[in-house]
Structure 1
Amino acid sequence: MSWTDERVELLRKLWLEGLSASQIARELANGISRNAVIGKVHRLGMSGRVKTAVPAIARARPKVARPAAHQRSSMPLVRGNTALAMRPQPNTAIQPAPQEDVVIPMSEMVTIMDLKESMCRWPMGDPATGEFRFCGAKKGASQSGPYCSYHSRIAYQPVQDRRRRVQSA
C-alpha cells in the first residue's frame, strides 16, 4: 500500500471535515489502517485540528435546584470519587499507651558473637556501624519469644490495640 496523491488529498479533506482516523481508514480501504492514517496526518503536520462544536441541545444539562448563595458556603463540595470519602474524625476515647524509656546498661548490650539463648535479641543502633549491639537483657522464664518483657510489649501488640490505632489514624 502506498500513499498516492489522490489518497493524500482525500485524507486531508476527510480529516478537515472532522472524521475520525478509523472512519477515514474505512473510507480509504485497501490496507490502510487507523494507525497509518494517524501517522500520515502527523507527517503532514495536520494533527492539530479544531474540534467541531457540539450542538447546544446535546450540551444542555438538566437544571438542578441550587441552594441560595448564603447556604452554599456551608455545604461541603462533593464531586467525583470524593463523594464517598470518609472524613477522619479524631477519636479522643483511645489514649496511646504511655511510652516508658528503658535504659539498658552498655554492659548488658551484646554483639552477635556474645548473644546467648537466654538473652534478648532486640537490635540496638545502626547495623552498618561498629556500635551495633543487641539488648542482651535476660528473658524471663515465661518468655518464649526472642525478646525481653519490655521489647516483647513493643514487638507483639494485641490485635485489638492495633485495630484501634489504625481506625484512629
Structure 2
Amino acid sequence: MNWTDERVETLKKLWAEGLSASQIAAQLGGVSRNAVIGKVHRLKLSSRGRAASPRTRQKKAPQATTNAPSTARRPRNTRPVTATIGATALQAQFEEEPVARTYLRPVSDVVVPISRKLSLVQLTEVTCKWPNGDPLSEEFSFCGNEAGESGPYCNYHSRIAYQPVSERRRAR
C-alpha cells in the first residue's frame, strides 16, 4: 500500500477531526490500523481535535457543613462523583495474621525399596531407571528394581514422579 498525497491529506483531515486510527483505516480502505498509527507518527501529527469533547469535571473546595437543610437541587442529568485519595487498597488493615498451611501426603503404604545400584549399561527394559546421587560422581547409580510394564520406574519411584493433579495444585 502506497501513501499517495491524496491519502495523506485525507489522513491528516480525519486525524484532525478526532477519528480513531481504526476509523481512519476503515475509511481509507486497504490499510491497517497500525499502518495509520505509523504514518501519523512519521508525519508527527500529535495535536488533534476531539470528535466529542468530554465533560471536564472541576474539583470543588470542601464546603463547611451547616445544620440547615439544602434547598438547592442537582440537575437531573448529573451525578455525584466520588473521589479517592491515594491507593486505598494498599492501606487495608487486617487484624489477623495469615496462616501458612502445609499439606503432607499420607505416609501409609510407603515402602522404600533397597536399590540394586545398577550402572547405565546394566539397565534393561524392565528395570527402574530412577537416578541415585550425582551423575558426575563415582557412586552414581540407578535404582534397578523391577519396573514392570507401567513405565520406566518401580512402584515407589512412580509415586514420586507422577503425582496426581490435585496434590500439585494444593502444594502451590
TM-score (norm 1): 0.43
- Structure having the higher helix fraction is 1
